[in-house]
Structure 1
């Protein structure tokens, strides 16, 4: 026997209607991503789009906290870069723990931070959202970041971004503590570590690419509204509840989402792969090994069943004890190859236009 609502649908028919609507919306998104996948091969070289994003730079600055370089702090080196510079500047940061907040402003594009190894070069601070600035204003999550990237064409290699604020207890307020906030377009990270607890990596907005990185946190520790691909990265949980990701796509026209390819999901606890921070959140995991740290339901709609029709969470060919589909929420997707393919390539982030394959050691 079926129950009827005021709209005249039986519950069975309503579920079928919702599933059909959700499939239509997914199909629209799939076509959108597939269309982007066709753009890359039409470009003969990255120079056609942004010549200044060539990796071989024309200027290098040395940062050495012992005084054997051009500057002793990273921020001083950034401040020395010419405003609206049109050529890549590499800031080589020698081994050490640099206790400072760093801001790369919008007016200073094409900066590379080059460490001497992710275990050896560390940028560290300990602000939280509830801390106050010199004027007595709350920092908020946005300003809690140890490093804030606001310019386009940013690159980081072989260093650690760390927020050393301690993990918050259950129910704590204002303990968000970002290790990095990335608000600039076309940012690439290779061989980096991101260490924190709640809200470690603020993938705020823009197109971003991460390869061979390690990301550690407790609650929603990869979050934001970026259009980002994470390849061969490890996501490591240090809590017993929460979520690995919290994606904030807010409208159907918002071109954002997270794609994880050939990654590892490790750590402790029972975390969701993702929570729907935004009404139209989108996250896909593919070819990813998952330890038994994933909540069997897989995903959370942020306690709002109305989001089930508009969010898109999916897996493709994932493996390991945490990848089992049997108890996943009904509105999550196990993708076919055709559906998953657009999320597996650089085209997902328009990367054929700006990610340097040689620099990031990608296969041709």
Structure 2
């Protein structure tokens, strides 16, 4: 059976974050790890726990693993960054698709089989979204940029 997988992989950044008056800031505000070694075990929990309308950058580290979840980042989650441990190590995957009776824009994130028809890997409605060294893999409608500049 031929299957088409859709998932997003986050890569780690190899830089030290500096804020304010030359003070070393913590690299991450929260750590997501499936093995319970971090603060939480799902990306959805981490995003929900991030401050709403944050005035400063909130960094979530996504530890290596395959996270089977459909993620929604609402517009009140501003200044949010998710940083993984490598493009092949931190994988978010889901299984909604058009073949399940959903509208295409409702399928976002992230695994679909070929026989289930189209599904969106990543949907963005943000005005200025940024994705750096991310690998977005899909069968059809991989990136749905509903809005953006």
The number of equivalent residue pairs is: 126
Indicate the SS of the match to 1:113.
strand
The answer to whether residue 112 in structure 2 is matched with residue 165 in structure 1 is yes
Counterpart in the other structure of 2:36: 67
1:79-107 Cα offsets, whole Å, 9 max, x none, are 00122111111110000000011111011
Q: How does 1:208-247 map to 2 (within 5 A)?
A: none
Q: In the aligned structure 2, how far is the partner of 1:61 from the partner of 1:187?
A: 21
Q: Which one of the candidate residues 95, 120, 124 is aligned to 1:178?
A: 120
Matched residue, 1:99: 68
Partner of 1:139: 102
Tell me which structure has the larger Cα radius of gyration.
1
Higher percent of residues as helix: 1
CA distance in 2, matches of 1:187, 1:164: 22
Please list every run of 5 or more consecutive structure 2 residues that lacks an aligned counterpart in the other structure.
1-16, 20-24
Following the alignment from structure 2 to structure 1, what is the Cα–Cα distance between the partners of residues 43 and 80?
Answer: 12
- Distance in 2 separating the partners of 1:101 and 1:76: 12
2:144 corresponds to: 202
Cα deviation, 1:294-340, whole Å, max 9, x if unaligned, reads xxxxxxxxxxxxxxxxxxxxxxxxxxxxxxxxxxxxxxxxxxxxxxx
Q: Which residue of 1 aligns with 2:77?
A: 108
Cα distance in 1 between the residues matched to 2:105 and 2:119: 9
Residues 130, 140 of structure 1: 8 Å contact kept: no
- Moved beyond 6 Å, runs of 4+: none
Aligned to 2:7: none
Take 2:69 and 2:111, find their aligned partners in 1: how far apart are those partners? 12
Q: Shift in Å at residue 77 of structure 1?
A: 0.5
Post-superposition CA distance 1:227-253 (Å, at most 9, x none): xxxxxxxxxxxxxxxxxxxxxxxxxxx
Q: Hey, what does 1:129 align to over in structure 2?
A: 98
- CA distance in 2 between counterparts of 1:82 and 1:193 reads 27
Alpha carbons of 1:78 and 1:194: their partners in 2 closer, same or farther (altered >3 Å)?
Answer: same
* C-alpha deviation, 1:167, in angstroms: 2.4
The two structures have a TM-score, normalised by structure 2, of: 0.78
The match for 1:189 is 131
How big is the shift at 1:175?
1.7
Deviations 1:45-103 (A, max 9, x none): xxxxxxxxxx7576621000000001000000010012211111111000000001111
Change (3 A) 1:56 1:187: farther
